[in-house]
Amino acid sequence: MHKPIVAANWKMNLTKKSAEDLIAKLNKFVYEDVEVIIMPPFTLLDMAASIADNRIKLGAQNCYYKKNGAFTGEISPDMLVDIGCKYVIVGHSERRHIFGETNDLLRKKLAASKQAGLIPVYCIGETLDEKRKGEKESVLSEQLNIIDNLSMPLIVAYEPVWAIGTGVAAEVVTIRETIKLIRQKLREKRVKAPVLYGGSVKPDNAKEIASETLIDGALVGGSGLNADSFLQIIDIFKEVRKC
Ligand code: PEP
């Protein structure tokens, strides 16, 4: 079994000072046996790259698919590699649903990330409405179809949209069944990728989630902004997966 992955998506939060304080606390932790990733906003990546312990990996929250050029406000995968990123989130539900990013656009972002040598954390998940209409499987299938023929290192994060930022995570039985389905689809595509769960992971529910070995780790939002809660989640994955 590979190391569990615990990633923190900071979203549009923190200033230079508060991020420095958070990283200083994270640097004191012993990071063996867990792949820990922090994903600060673009403005904090350079600082994070220079002060974070090198066992903490750096990821960005988004990228554009062009290498360079007249694309005001965008950041290319090459720029992220240049600044020290190993990972990039592609297809976070906030990008899909607030900024209207389509599977077509995300396919281009995945391909561009591959070319630059970044590992995408590719987020998929159904909305509450899609869940209620019984469309979860078809939504996930469509979202996964864009990885056909890409053959690249990839992490998939199952993040039901209705569980993100709500404080209410999906039940472990639901996560297990959905990840089984995702793994089956990945096998059909001959893609090998760890599958994380994201959506209101907190110290309170991390043990239950980490105990389900089909889940390869967690993508954390709110709990990743606080050193104590993020370190508790990492520690829980470390301890549970040791046995
Ligand atoms: C996320 O935004 O990817 C996320 C999982 O957020 P939260 O943990 O706050 O639900």
pLDDT for the residue 51? 97
- Kindly give the distance from the C-alpha atom of residue 220 to the centroid of ligand 1, in angstroms, as a whole number: 5
Which residue's CA is minimally distant from atom 7 of ligand 1? 221
Q: What is the pLDDT of residues 122-158, one digit of tens each?
A: 999 999 999 999 999 999 999 999 998 788 899 999 9
Contact 26, 231 (CB under 8 A): yes
Q: Is 92 annotated as catalytic?
A: yes
Mean pLDDT value across residues 168-185 = 97
Contact 143, 103 (CB under 8 A): yes
Catalytic residue among 35, 92, 94, 130: 92
pLDDT of 2? 80
The number of folded domains in the chain is: 1
The pLDDT score that the predictor gives to residue 212 is 96
When pLDDT is averaged across residues 197-205 and rounded to a whole number, the result is: 98
Structure confidence by residue, pLDDT tens digits, 18-65: 999 999 999 998 778 999 999 999 999 999 999 999 999 999 999 999
The distance from CA 178 to its chain's CA centroid, rounded to whole angstroms, is 17
Residue 63 CB-half CA count within 13 A: 35
Q: What span, in angstroms and rounded, lies between the C-alpha atoms of 202 and 169?
A: 9
pLDDT at 1: 59
Shortest-distance Cα residue to atom 4 of ligand 1:
221
Give me the mean pLDDT over the 166-191 stretch: 96
CATH of the domain at 61: 3.20.20.70
| pLDDT, position 170 | 97
Per the structure, the complete domain to which residue 34 belongs is given by 5-242
CA distance linking residue 222 with residue 163, whole number of Å: 12
Output the residue whose Cα is nearest ligand 1's atom 6.
221
Ligand 1: does its nearest atom lie under 6 Å from the Cβ of 217?
Answer: no
- Residue 84: per-residue pLDDT: 98
User: Is the pLDDT score of 213 beyond 80?
Assistant: yes
**Of the candidate ranges 140-144, 151-155, 212-216, 234-238, the one whose mean pLDDT is the lowest:** 151-155
Give tens-digit pLDDT for 73-91. Answer: 999 999 999 999 999 999 9
Summarize pLDDT for 76-131 with one digit per residue, the tens. 999 999 999 999 999 999 999 999 999 999 999 999 999 999 999 999 999 999 99
3-state secondary structure the chain: CCCCEEEEECCCCCCHHHHHHHHHHHCCCCCCCCEEEEECCHHHHHHHHHHCCCCEEEEECCCCCCCCCCCCCCCCHHHHHHCCCCEEEECCHHHHHCCCCCHHHHHHHHHHHHHHCCEEEEEECCCHHHHHCCCHHHHHHHHHHCCCCCCCCCEEEECCHHHCCCCCCCCHHHHHHHHHHHHHHHHHCCCCCCEEEECCCCHHHHHHHHCCCCCCEEEECHHHHCHHHHHHHHHHHHHHHHC
CA distance 223 to 206: 11
Q: Is the CB of 201 under 6 A from ligand 1?
A: yes
> pTM of whole model > 0.85?
yes
pLDDT over threshold 70, residue 243:
no
Cα 107 to Cα 84: distance, rounded to the nearest angstrom = 23
